[in-house]
Chain A
């Protein structure tokens, strides 16, 4: 297992960017601390160090979901989100896009981050945000439309 500092050096900026997208700049710091403390706690017992970035992002996305839950949305009737072996988004390659995501209205921002940074399906995004699947899909759609406009 590499020294934990190696994970921080390689992934802290990427995790922070994802969290800024998922919960907004103001709350990202708290989620960041919670994410890395949880990771540090579990690290010595981790059996597979091949996808450390995916592992960190899984924890980050759980912390982001916890954050949305704690913010007064109704409790989640879903199981723990499944392991994300293949995280598809590459936010660390393009942190700039996450700045734009972070500037979206909260619901759109969360929907976009949960979809593209955490790779959640619509139903789980809905569960995380405490809204219907249709509403989650709409938030995602609106968020993406705005991003496309800003990037155009």
Chain B
């Protein structure tokens, strides 16, 4: 096992820059999730790592080994494809043995390792089946066994759950995570599903337009987004425009001073304040209490969605704040549109982000 390094890697198709100067390290044994909207360059990044796509500039290292110019079959990567890509003319066992045979592993050892790998994914009984005789979930597990049995330097997962139905997806998520941790295999996981990325990854990378927006642990990235894009893409966010007037103090358009935890600390600049809808509390007008940040406004709209209700509050400044309220709180009566309310939220849940869209 080894760490994987991208050293200012770029990829261009003609004039179109798909990945721009990517610097990225996947630590030994960690699961790194690559998250972003379609066209953000995450799939290209994975395919450059696999060796399917040439790098335009920069280098890729597996540990000390520079693999930038190596073809995919000389790289020792294990990949689970979106549609699994199990060879339809080979049995399950033959599929799993394929990589070992290419490495010249002795026949007895191949058999032993195939058996072990299939047992690992609970497919021990299915060695003689053909892929088309398996369900989607079973095929997925065979694909995983096939990729892991060769003890790859890096395991590549390309949206491996997207072809499964929603219920199965949750189980497989846990299973993949468990196996990955047991085997301590360095893993790059590409997904557009933020739930998957948040629950499975040791660290996650949010990409946008060919660049890394932010890297960190799921909690880190979720709680302290550094850019408007990250705050908006990962979960949802309310934004207020205003100025940072002194360290840790943001002045909203209507002059209200709001405290924040992290982010841009340069005073007297235009800034964007971000906080999550679920961190906000609604109370009758004037009863703000001790909370650090408070603003008043009136309710414009409510949207009931089972476990929670989403309330839109229009501020005096004209900006709209979305509040998510758990329906366990038995006070639904206050939410009539037009009702004047005060919204409060803690400063720890408040950050200043840079606006990359400008």
Partners in one complex: no
Chain A interfacial positions (CB closer than 8 Å to B): none
Residue ranges of B at the interface with A (Cβ–Cβ < 8 Å): none
